[in-house]
Amino acid sequence: MVINGLKGFFDDARSIAQRDPAACGVWQVIFVYSGFHAVVLHRMAHWLFRHHMKCIARALSQINRFFTGIEIHPGAKIGRRLFIDHGMGLVIGETAEIGDDCTLYHGVTLGGTGKDKGKRHPTLGNNVLIGAGAKILGPFKVGDYAMIGANSVVLHEVPAEATVVGVPGRVIKHEGRPIRHNVELDHDSAPDPIEQEICQLRRRMASLEAMFQTDVNCQEAPEEPGQQEETSIK
Ligand SMILES: CC(C)(COP(=O)(O)OP(=O)(O)OC[C@H]1O[C@@H](n2cnc3c(N)ncnc32)[C@H](O)[C@@H]1OP(=O)(O)O)[C@@H](O)C(=O)NCCC(=O)NCCS
């Protein structure tokens, strides 16, 4: 267990040193990165929590918060190589789950939306990036390799490999392909009410244009050779 713990400790530090362009090596991460300290202390608090020492676990998480400015409930499940960059103001709720190789910036909240008991915080897949100040609220899944823009507020499930931005958050890229709801007339998927209105107007304009075009085509269509004579006979 101790060997596994030490391996995980150095694994976490090494991955931060590799992912942060400002880092000067593993030892700097170990000694001065508060995001790293927060994860190490959380792993201890989580161990205590799982072994029915919930009060001590909670006290340790408060000490963690005091020194790092990062509040992680001891019940939260955190995968390997989490990188908390800067960290200050970050909150992770009790039933939140975080996969491997995720990156969270300062001001991120993995929170709930009400006072319900049970699973009420999000589950992040692997390699998820959450930008500074983003709020992910509710017991839904954020898929692998998803990216959440800085200051977004996400209230619904996010598919794997999607990029979500805005308030409320909406998917602007999926599997590398940009998605423009108002251009693609996909108004049901645009959560922004103004954008929905624009989508509906564009849809109505497109159908009016199509009707107009059909009328013009009918009027401009050359008459059949016998048609003129038929009309004149009548
Ligand atoms: C969301 C994010 C990951 C997208 O990165 P990307 O895939 O390179 O996307 P782009 O920069 O090409 O932006 C795509 C579109 O989303 C918009 N956008 C990007 N981030 C946004 C955000 N946080 N909020 C609102 N819109 C955003 C861009 O303006 C662009 O719109 P356009 O196509 O109409 O011009 C990135 O912008 C982000 O927010 N990263 C978090 C970084 C962070 O928190 N850093 C803190 C360092 S201390």
pLDDT digit string (tens) for 130-157? 999 999 999 999 999 999 999 999 999 9
Ligand 1, atom 37, residue with closest C-alpha: 149
Q: Is 131 in the pocket of ligand 1 (CB under 6 A)?
A: yes
How far is Cα 34 from Cα 71, in angstroms, rounded to an integer? 12
Using a cut of 0.85, tell me whether the model's pTM lies above it.
no
Q: Are 87 and 113 in contact (CB under 8 A)?
A: no
For residue 158, give the DSSP letter: B
How far is Cα 73 from Cα 48, in angstroms, rounded to an integer? 12
Q: Are 12 and 84 in contact (CB under 8 A)?
A: no
What is the structure's pLDDT at 182?
56
In Å, how far are 9, 24, 29, 211 from 5, measured between CA atoms? 6, 23, 17, 69
Residue 117 above 70 pLDDT?
Answer: yes
Least confident window among 89-93, 133-137, 151-155, 207-211: 207-211
Ligand 1 pocket test, candidate residues 103, 172, 192, most atoms within 8 A of CB: 172
Question: What distance in angstroms lies between residue 101's CA and the mean position of ligand 1's atoms?
Answer: 20
Mean pLDDT of the chain: 89
Ligand 1, atom 22, residue with closest C-alpha: 149
What is the structure's pLDDT at 191?
57
What is the structure's pLDDT at 5?
82
Question: What distance in angstroms lies between residue 165's CA and the mean position of ligand 1's atoms?
Answer: 7
Residue-wise DSSP of 86-155: S-TT-EE-TT-EE-TT-EE-TT-EEE-SSS-SSS-S-EE-TT-EE-TT-EEESS-EE-TT-EE-TT-EE-
pLDDT per position as a tens digit, 162-190: 999 999 898 998 888 887 665 555 655 65
Q: Are 130 and 103 in contact (CB under 8 A)?
A: yes
Q: Is 167 in the pocket of ligand 1 (CB under 6 A)?
A: no
